[in-house]
Structure 1
Amino acid sequence: MSEVSILIPENFAVEEASEFRQRVNDLMNEGKKNFTLNFRNCTFIDSTGLGVLVGIYKKCKEVNGRLTLHSMNPNVMKVFELTRLDKVFEIDV
């Protein structure tokens, strides 16, 4: 099954996270279940952004899908390490 690649916004916070969640939910409703999230432009993520990613991760697992995080900025990676989410997500640095 094909993988959907999505670019994460520069500031992945409350407003962007809500729109992003809806976009991925729409894609999943269309039958998509494998996602690569590209973080190359993302320089900031807050708890809302992290929560949205965890929710998407859980949904992907439920449908035997796959979620990969790609091209992560070192500062954003630090947030994943501090929250130990680097142990949960598949991350290609």
Structure 2
Amino acid sequence: MEEMTIQLPELFSVEEAARFREQVRGYIEKGIVRFTLDFSKCKFIDSTGLGVIVSSYKKCVENQGTIRLRSLDPNVRKIFELTRLINVFEIQ
């Protein structure tokens, strides 16, 4: 099964989240449902960014796919810990 890696921007907030949602939706429509999100450049994520990742994850799971997270910045990781999303996603 094909897997896509998506590089997240340095600031992952409202505008970037909308683009991300459309990008992932397009891939899912093409049958790609396994993603690795590369956070190596991402230093900030807001609630909109988190929400889009969670809704995209649900869509992937509905289609027998998944989303994994890679290279979380300590501050971004803290957000995932505080929201308990650390228990939802596989983190590399």
TMscore range, shorter length:
over 0.9
SS at match of 1:25: helix
| Count of residue pairs the alignment pairs up | 92
What TM-score do you get using the length of structure 1 for normalisation?
0.97
- Give the unaligned 5+ runs of structure 1: none
Residues 52-92 of structure 1, C-alpha deviations (whole Å, 9 max, x = no match):
00001100110110210001100000000011110111111
Report the Cα distance in structure 2 between the residues aligned to 1:41 and 1:71, rounded to whole angstroms.
9
Runs of 4+ in 1 over 2 A off after TM superposition: none
Supply the AA of the counterpart residue of 1:51.
Answer: G
Residue 88 in structure 1 maps to residue 75 in structure 2:
no
**Structure 2: 5+ residue runs without aligned partners?**
none
Match of 1:4 in 2: 4
Residues 50-89 of structure 1 aligned to structure 2 (within 5 Å): 50-89=50-89
Q: Percent identity?
A: 55
Deviations along 1:5-26, one digit per CA (max 9) or x if unpaired, are: 0001110000000011000101
Question: Which one-letter code corresponds to 2:22 in the other structure?
Answer: Q
The TM-score normalised by the length of structure 2 is 0.98
